[in-house]
Structure 1
Amino acid sequence: MTEPLRGNCHCGNFRFEITSDSSSTPANLGVSICACSLCTKLGCLWLPVDPDDFAITRDTGTVTTYRGLVFCKVCGTAVTGKHVGGPLQGQFLVNARAVAGFNPFQLGNNDDSQQRQRQAPSPMPVTGAEQDPVKHRGSCHCGNVSVELLVGLDELEIKEDNCSSCVRDAYIGTYPSKEQVRIHGRVHTFEYRYGSKFNGIAHCQTCGVVVFTTVYGPPISLFDRLPAERKERALAVYWKNMALQPVNVRVLDGVDLSTLTIQTTDEGAEGYVLPP
């Protein structure tokens, strides 16, 4: 008997199986792209599934719904959806990013490059003495959490990887300093920390969108174990990282991702173990 596709939110509180197509593997899933504002911010890659072929294998009550989207309130992973409008209206959909073994970097022309190209064009820059110090504005979908970037993306590194968490969040990070960012609505987020807990991923409590992350780093006492020369170098990196305020590029208004230089790291989910 062919094994079903299995998937889960990152923390494992919600798990599922799909038995619709015995020939499907995580590498050849055919996904649908939705360019609505919610799917654009979430970066979801939707897999249309017959509800009869979808089985929930664990549900500890941590999922919630926003406009047809179902996401976990612990780790923020978007798992399923039912579109209320557009070409996918009424279809039951599974976020392929939550399927175990799924790698968006291996989808070729079937990845979210289409989604990147279909976003709104970048706004015209403001010139003159009254130029707005804010270079980019963005927010989660419901608007409870917002961000203002005081530096242009052309001055910053932009990175994307496919670790077990980032692949589920579709996270594309840029790394300004704390002085270059204004964040509003932190009180409306929930934070997910896992593994070493050196970073915290902030999701909107209402719509689940990741707007920013927080760098915590290791305990500074850890560096006391290092030889003096190594300690000096390690602390320099530590303080540099601690000064950062990472932001999810997907939430920025009017940014066409297809025009950006994004450094991708195909590291996969090595080390990720689904909790029992």
Structure 2
Amino acid sequence: MAEERSLRTYRANCHCATYVYEVNLPENIKNGLKFNSSYYSKIDGIYQCTQSSDDIKFVKGDPATLSSYNFGAARHQFCPNCGTHLFRVDSKTYVNIRAIQNIRVRDLDTKSIDDPEPTTWTPPKFTGSEPPAKIEDAKIYTGGCHCGAITLALKSKPIDSTYEASLLECDCSICTRNAYLWIYPSKSQVIITGASNFGYYSFGRGIWKKSFCRTCGVPIHNHIDDYTPEQIAELPEDNREWAVDHLDWSPINLRVLDGVDLDELPVRRIEGSKFGKVPYINP
């Protein structure tokens, strides 16, 4: 007879707090599951399996209104407003630990398991124009979301162990939940197709708009509008300098790029949770 796990009740939520729920999981979570598949390479969810769907109780939001993306044998559920991935559902229900409050995801041990997927899936092909930036010894990287609605091209110095500019993993509330790994090209280095399928989510200063595919939920980039001088003048005073300094940026989530070995990159971990303008308060 299998030994019963000692459970406790955790609270979890998408970042925008449209969905808040409680879930019964083992005490002192120290590890999680990672699924090996093309989809999970883009969203980097870390999961715990519930004993029963009854272990999940929503205290805010209707789970029937979550966005769903079906791939392989699983249904992947995410918030349609902020893009936070909450559940994987196949014959069992898995909870994304990234959405659970007060768990330091960086400290978790993970176990990888194979996730069979349709052999017909191939990375969506980028069909847009070449980014106009002039960069010596540049390479063009392509990628996009998983369903193919959004594709992009990035012109950059080689993105490998020799890359010298910033590559960051931030532990702030949104970067933890949506598993971003950031690279910081200028707008002229990036061309995106299918932008009409973006969902945008903004908080804090309201300058950055974090994008995700509304169909498959893959987080893509950090968008800043092309503010005119008049629009910048209308911003709150403490936001004007920030907007001017970042106006030409187009940060990209490295996980969406095809053919980049993330494990060899000199990614720097930062504690963005400590210097946000407005502290995030868990609902």
TM range (shorter): 0.7 to 0.9
Q: Is 2:255 the counterpart of 1:254? A: no
The total of aligned residue pairs comes to: 238
How do residues 117-266 of structure 1 correspond to structure 2 at under 5 angstroms? 134-152=139-157, 153=159, 154=163, 156-216=165-225, 220-221=232-233, 235=241, 238-266=243-271
User: Match of 2:88?
Assistant: 81
Q: Deviations over 1:119-150 (max 9, x none)?
A: xxxxxxxxxxxxx9652111101011111111
The aligned amino acid for 2:57 is: A
Match of 2:20 among 15, 18, 31: 15
Shift of the 222–65 alpha-carbon distance from structure 1 to 2, 3 Å rule, reads same
Q: In structure 2, what is the Cα distance between the partners aligned to 1:217 and 1:97?
A: 32
Taking structure 1 as the reference length, the TM-score comes to 0.77
Map 1:51-66 onto structure 2 (within 5 A): 51-60=53-62, 62-66=65-69
CA contact 1:6–1:100 (8 Å) conserved in 2: yes
The sequence identity of aligned pairs, in percent, is 28
Contact 2:187 2:249 in 1 (8 A): yes
| TM-score between the two structures when normalised by the length of structure 2 | 0.75
Deviation (angstroms), 1:224: 9.8
Task: Find the residue that maps to 2:39 and give its secondary structure.
Answer: helix
Partner of 1:42: 43
Q: Quick check: 1:7–1:17 contact (8 Å CA) kept in 2?
A: yes
Contact 1:147 1:211 in 2 (8 A): no
Equivalent-residue separation in structure 1 for 2:281 and 2:144 (angstroms): 32
Structure 2: which amino acid aligns with 1:203?
Answer: F
Kindly indicate whether the alpha-carbon contact (under 8 Å) linking 2:8 and 2:25 is maintained by their aligned counterparts in 1: no
What's the secondary structure of 1:4's corresponding residue?
strand
**1:172 maps to amino acid:** L
By how many angstroms is 1:268 displaced?
A: 3.2
Taking the aligned partners of 1:263 and 1:166, their CA distance within structure 2 comes to 14
Q: Report what 1:71 is aligned to.
A: 78
**Higher strand residue share:** 2
CA distance in 2, matches of 1:181, 1:54: 41
The separation in 2 between residues aligned to 1:207 and 1:224, in whole angstroms, is: 35
Counterpart of 1:167 in 2: which secondary structure?
helix
CA distance in 1, matches of 2:41, 2:237: 45
Q: How far did residue 4 of structure 1 move?
A: 1.2
Native 8 Å contact 2:101 2:282 kept in 1: no
Structure 1 runs not aligned, ≥5 long: 84-89, 116-131, 227-233
Q: Which runs of 5+ in 2 are unaligned?
A: 1-6, 114-136
What is the Cα deviation at residue 53 of structure 1?
A: 1.7
Indicate if the aligned counterparts of 2:221 and 2:252 stay in contact, CA closer than 8 A: yes
| Corresponding residue of 2:281 | 273
Residue range with higher mean Cα deviation, 5-14 or 148-157: 148-157
Q: 1:21-36 maps to which residues of 2 (within 5 A)? A: 21=26, 23-24=27-28, 28-36=29-37
Q: CA deviation at 1:222?
A: 6.9
Larger proportion of helix? 1
1:203-238 Cα shifts (integer Å, max 9, x gaps): 101001011111259963279969xxxxxxx85x75
**Alignment pair present for 1:93 and 2:94:** yes
On the 8 A contact 1:215/1:244 being kept in 2, the answer is: yes
Given that residues 76 and 88 in structure 2 are in contact (C-alpha distance below 8 angstroms), is that contact kept between their aligned partners in structure 1?
Answer: yes
Tell me, yes or no, if the aligned pair for 1:156 and 1:176 is still in contact at 8 Å: no
Aligned to 2:129: none
1:5 aligns with 2:10: yes
Checking the alignment, whether the CA contact within 8 Å between 2:69 and 2:215 is kept in structure 1 is yes
